[in-house]
Amino acid sequence: MGDKVIVASERAAPMSRVGVRRFPRGNQDTKTLSLLREVRHANIVAALEAFQGQKILYIVFEDMHMPLDHVIRCPRRRTSDEIGTIVGQILDGLDYLHSHRWCHSRLSCETILVQMAGDVKIGMQELCRAASSKEQQQNLTDIGTITMKLMQGYALEEGKVGVEDLSDWQESSILDFLSAITSSDTAGRLRKNIFLVQIWEKESRWPKEILWDLFLTAQLSVRRYYHYKP
């Protein structure tokens, strides 16, 4: 996520884990805390507590530590259903933000977090801000970039939306979804695309369990810079 996250756990069983991030104290403390209290959605990483030191503001977040970027970098190819289940959850969180007239100023594979249960959530809520419809449109462009990276490992240059090898995706409506990104004006409307609706309607929920193997492969194959401090 671009900064260090302290992964802390309780000493006594059951040992639940949380993530702790540090922010320099300053004039934005009240604004940051207010924003973290306001932004509440199943697909946005939850802030649990806050502690104020003399120079540092500590924010405790739920146990979400692996960025989507690790999934992109792992060697396992993603299926269209896996991609839809990931992108659909991001759009659910994004639709919530947009409905409150917010946008995320750095929506990317680095600021989206995943966990083994199949949950996909938008992180770094301090980067959310009030936005116009035009500014929210940038988040849909971000969705296009994320989708391309999930499909082929990289995004096309110069703002183009698409994939270079179409043969892998001919039996799925994911290509139509990718094309629809450029013409959609809201996250909610894009969420209703037939590609995502077909995945959702199978069980009236996102089939998060299909992501377990993918996330496990990413966890095992991509280097993470952890340091243990007892």
**pLDDT by residue, tens only, the chain of 230 residues:** 446 777 767 666 666 778 888 877 876 777 778 888 888 999 999 988 888 887 888 888 898 889 999 999 999 999 999 999 999 999 999 999 999 999 999 999 999 999 999 999 999 988 898 988 888 999 999 999 999 999 999 999 877 888 999 888 988 899 999 999 999 989 999 999 999 999 998 889 999 999 999 999 999 987 665 554 55
Residues 38 and 151 occupy one common structural domain: no
Residues 32 and 75 occupy one common structural domain: no
Please indicate, yes or no, if residue 49 is contained in any of the structural domains.
yes
Print the domain residue range for 114.
66-221
pTM: predicted TM-score of the whole model, two decimal places? 0.89
Please indicate, yes or no, if residue 132 is contained in any of the structural domains.
yes
Please indicate, yes or no, if residue 227 is contained in any of the structural domains.
no
Residues 71 and 55 occupy one common structural domain: no
Residues 194 and 139 occupy one common structural domain: yes
Q: For residue 197, give every residue at least 6 positions away whose Cβ sits within 8 Å of its Cβ, in sequence order, or none.
A: none
Residues 117 and 168 occupy one common structural domain: yes
Q: For residue 175, give every residue at least 6 positions away whose Cβ sits within 8 Å of its Cβ, in sequence order, or none.
A: 163, 166, 169
Phi, psi angle pair for 59, to nearest 5°: -115, 130
Number of domains in the chain: 2
Order of strands across the sheet with 56-61?
6-9, 17-24, 56-61, 47-52
User: Residue 22, SS3?
Assistant: strand
Residues 31 and 44 occupy one common structural domain: yes
User: Residue 122, SS3?
Assistant: strand
